[in-house]
C-alpha cells in the first residue's frame, strides 16, 4: 500500500529544514522577527461561520522570554459560543463533504505553498509566543507543511472505491465517508504542526472543524486559520474558538452535534475528554470518535555496549531540545552500571555548557519554559527529586533574565519508582537511573503508565532485536535521539496512557476521521 502521488507535485517528500548558517536565511529570519514584532499586541475575534465576534472580555497571550510583552489578546468565548460554532460546523458538513476529495486535497496543497511563503514569519510568531528557538520553530513549520502535503495525497489514495472481493451475481463496493462536525483541541508546544495536522486531516477527509487552540499559542493558530482560508477552505467549514477549557472547551466536547474530538495534550485532560465523549446527551445519535495523543515519560536506555559519546549527544538533544517541552522528550536516561559513571560525567559537562536565554537570540540553545505556572511546577519537581535521594549534578535553578528561564537540570541516582521517574514534568529536568544490566534497564523503561517514545543506544544486534520486541512504546529509536519523528517516515503516537496511538503522519491516520460504508447490489440475471 503505497502513498499516493500527485500528477504535478509528485511523490511525498519531507520539507527540508532551513540552514541558518547561510547569511540569506539569517537575514530573512531577522526581518521576519522585526515584522512580527510590529504586529504584537493586537486583539483577535472569534470566527464563527465567517463572522468576527468580540465577547467584551479577553485574555492575553504573552512572550515567555519577556512576559511583559503581550503577543495578542483573545476573546473569552463562552459555552454558548461553543454550541454556536459546532452548530455552524454541523450545518456546513453536508455541502463540504460533497466537494470532491481531489478538490479538498488541492486546498491542502495550496496551504502548503502559503506556509512555505510565510515560513520565516510563522517561525517568528512561534519564537515570540511560545519561546521556540530558531531551529525548533523552523522544524515546527516544516512539519506543518509536511502534514498538508502528506494528508492531501493520502485523501486522494483513500477516495473512491477501495479493493474488495467480488462474488458472482453481485457488485460490491467499499468506500470511506467523513464523520461530521468535530472539535480540534491542540496544545501549545507544537503550535503550528499539531493544530495544522489535526485540522487539515479532518478537513481533507470531508469533515468540518471547530479549532480551539491553547491560550498560550492562539496567535499562531490564528495565522494557520488565515492560511487555510486563503487556500480555499470555506469559513463555514472551519471556525476559530478561544476560551477556557473548563467551560468553553467542555461545552464543545459535550455538544450532541460534535461527532469527533481530536486532542493532543496532558493525560489528565485527555482522560477528561474521553469521559465526556463517552456520554450520550439527549439528541446525540452517534458514539463520538476520540483521537487522543497524551503524555509520556520517555526513556533512553544506554547499554554497556553503547557508543557513550553518541548516547550523551542523543540524550542531551532529546531531553533539552525546546526546553524538554515535547511529549516525546527524554525525561529518563536509564544507564547500565558498567558505563554509568562515564555517562554521567560526560553528560554533566555537556549539559553545563548549554546556553539559556531569550529565543529570539539565535545564540541560545534553550529558551524559556511556557509560563510561570509551568516553571513553578518544574522547580517543585526538582525539590522532590532531591528529597527522594537524587543527586543534582547540573542546573536546578532559574537562569538569568526576566523570562521563565530554567537551567537544564540533571538529577542522577534516581530510583525507578521515584516521582520524578514516574510523573510527566514536561520541562528540562532529566532523571538518570542506574540499571544492573540490559534486562533490568528494559524492565525499568517499561515501568511507567506511559508508552510514547523511547530509544536504545547499543552496538549489540541481539539487544536491539530484543528491544524492538519488548520495549513497549509507539515510537522506538536505536542509536539516535527519541524526538523528531518525521511525517510519512515515523508515524507518531503511543500506547497505554500516552493515548490512542493515533499515528499522526502515517497511512492510517486519516481513517480516524473517516468511516467505512459497504454497498452491495444484486445484478440482474443475464
Edge-to-edge strand ranges of the sheet holding 260-264 = 51-53, 46-48, 238-240, 208-211, 181-185, 260-264, 289-293
Residue-range domain boundaries for the chain: 31-294+501-517, 298-486
**Is domain 298-486 classified as CATH 3.40.309.10?**
yes
Predicted confidence at residue 1, as pLDDT, reads: 53
Predicted confidence at residue 302, as pLDDT, reads: 98
Query: Would you identify the CATH topology of the domain 31-294+501-517?
Result: Aldehyde Dehydrogenase; Chain A, domain 1 (3.40.605)
pLDDT single digits (tens) 94-137: 999 999 999 999 999 999 999 999 999 999 999 999 999 999 99
Answer whether 485's CB lies under 8 Å from 328's CB.
Answer: yes
pLDDT single digits (tens) 206-223: 999 999 999 999 999 999
- Burial (CB < 10 A; 0-12, 13-18, 19+), residue 39, is middle
Split at pLDDT 50, 70, 90, the class of 36 is very high
pLDDT of residue 451 exceeding 70, the answer is yes
Pick left, alpha or beta for residue 405 (phi over 0 → left; psi -120 to 50 → alpha; otherwise beta). Answer: beta
Split at pLDDT 50, 70, 90, the class of 19 is very high
Predicted confidence at residue 2, as pLDDT, reads: 58
Q: Give the pLDDT mean for 295-317.
A: 98
pLDDT of residue 475 exceeding 80, the answer is yes
Which residues are marked as active site?
A: 293, 327
Task: Tell me the percentage of the chain whose pLDDT exceeds 90.
Answer: 98
pLDDT single digits (tens) 435-449: 999 999 999 999 999
Q: Is the dihedral of CA 418, 366, 477, 461 positive or negative?
A: negative
E strands present in 179-297: 181-185, 208-211, 238-240, 260-264, 289-293
Do the two domains 31-294+501-517 and 298-486 of this chain adopt the same fold?
no
Split at pLDDT 50, 70, 90, the class of 3 is low
pLDDT single digits (tens) 226-276: 999 999 999 999 999 999 999 999 999 999 999 999 999 999 999 999 999
Mutual angle of helices 193-204 and 218-230, in 10-degree steps? 40
Predicted confidence at residue 8, as pLDDT, reads: 81
Q: Give the pLDDT mean for 337-346.
A: 98
Split at pLDDT 50, 70, 90, the class of 5 is confident
Nearest to 373 by CA among 74, 64, 155, 141: 64
Mean of pLDDT over the chain: 97
pLDDT of residue 83 exceeding 60, the answer is yes
Answer whether 108's CB lies under 8 Å from 200's CB.
Answer: yes
Amino acid at each position: 500500500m503505497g502513498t499516493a502521488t500527485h500528477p504535478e507535485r509528485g511523490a511525498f517528500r519531507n520539507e527540508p529544514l532551513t540552514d541558518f548558517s547561510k547569511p540569506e536565511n539569517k537575514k530573512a529570519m531577522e526581518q521576519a522577527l522585526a515584522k512580527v514584532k510590529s504586529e504584537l499586541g493586537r486583539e483577535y475575534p472569534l470566527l464563527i461561520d465567517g463572522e468576527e465576534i468580540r465577547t467584551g472580555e479577553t485574555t492575553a497571550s504573552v512572550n515567555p522570554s519577556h512576559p511583559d510583552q503581550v503577543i495578542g489578546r483573545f476573546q473569552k468565548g463562552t459555552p454558548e459560543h461553543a454550541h454556536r460554532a459546532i452548530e455552524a460546523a454541523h450545518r456546513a458538513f453536508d455541502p463540504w463533504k460533497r466537494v470532491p476529495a481531489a478538490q479538498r486535497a488541492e486546498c491542502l496543497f495550496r496551504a502548503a505553498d502559503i506556509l512555505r511563503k510565510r515560513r520565516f514569519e510563522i517561525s517568528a510568531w512561534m519564537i515570540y509566543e511560545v519561546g521556540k528557538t530558531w531551529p525548533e520553530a523552523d522544524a515546527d513549520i516544516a512539519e506543518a507543511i509536511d502534514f498538508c502535503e502528506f494528508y492531501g495525497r493520502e485523501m486522494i489514495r483513500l477516495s473512491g472505491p477501495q479493493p474488495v472481493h467480488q462474488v458472482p451475481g453481485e457488485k460490491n463496493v467499499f468506500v470511506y465517508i467523513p464523520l461530521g462536525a468535530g472539535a480540534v483541541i491542540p496544545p501549545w508546544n507544537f503550535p503550528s504542526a499539531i493544530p495544522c495536522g489535526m485540522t487539515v486531516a479532518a478537513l481533507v477527509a470531508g469533515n468540518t472543524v471547530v479549532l480551539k487552540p491553547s491560550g498560550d499559542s492562539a496567535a499562531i493558530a490564528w495565522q494557520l486559520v488565515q492560511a487555510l482560508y486563503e487556500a480555499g477552505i470555506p469559513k463555514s467549514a472551519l471556525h476559530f474558538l478561544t476560551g477556557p477549557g473548563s467551560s468553553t472547551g467542555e461545552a464543545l466536547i459535550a455538544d450532541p452535534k460534535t461527532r469527533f474530538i481530536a486532542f493532543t495534550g496532558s493525560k489528565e485532560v485527555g482522560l477528561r475528554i474521553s469521559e465526556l465523549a463517552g456520554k450520550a446527551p439527549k439528541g446525540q445519535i452517534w458514539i463520538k470518535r476520540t483521537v487522543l495523543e497524551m503524555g509520556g515519560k520517555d526513556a533512553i536506555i544506554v547499554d554497556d555496549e553503547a557508543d557513550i559519546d553518541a548516547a550523551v549527544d542523543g540524550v542531551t538533544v532529546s531531553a533539552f531540545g525546546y526546553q524538554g517541552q515535547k511529549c516525546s522528550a527524554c525525561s529518563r536516561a536509564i544507564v547500565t552500571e558498567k558505563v554509568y559513571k562515564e555517562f554521567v560525567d560526560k553528560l554533566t559537562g555537556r549539559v553545563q555548557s548549554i546556553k539559556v536565554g531569550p529565543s529570539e537570540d539565535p545564540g541560545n540553545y534553550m529558551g524559556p519554559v511556557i509560563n510561570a505556572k509551568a516553571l513553578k511546577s518544574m522547580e517543585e519537581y526538582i525539590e522532590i527529586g532531591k528529597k527522594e535521594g537524587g543527586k543534582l549534578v547540573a542546573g536546578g535553578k532559574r537562569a538569568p533574565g526576566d523570562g521563565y528561564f530554567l537551567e537544564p537540570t540533571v538529577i542522577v541516582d534516581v530510583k525507578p519508582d521515584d516521582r520524578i521517574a514516574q510523573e510527566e514534568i514536561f520541562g528540562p529536568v532529566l532523571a538518570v537511573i542506574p540499571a544492573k544490566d540490559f534486562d533490568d534497564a528494559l524492565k525499568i523503561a517499561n515501568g511507567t503508565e506511559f508508552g510514547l517514545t523511547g530509544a536504545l543506544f547499543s552496538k549489540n544486534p541481539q539487544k536491539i532485536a530484543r528491544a524492538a520486541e519488548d520495549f513497549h512504546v509507539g515510537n522506538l529509536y536505536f542509536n539516535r535521539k527519541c524526538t523528531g519523528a518525521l511525517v510519512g517516515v515515523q508515524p507518531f503516537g503511543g500506547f497505554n496512557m500516552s493515548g490512542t496511538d493515533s499515528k499522526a503522519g502515517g497511512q492510517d491516520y486519516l481513517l480516524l476521521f473517516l468511516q467505512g460504508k459497504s454497498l452491495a447490489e444484486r445484478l440482474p440475471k443475464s
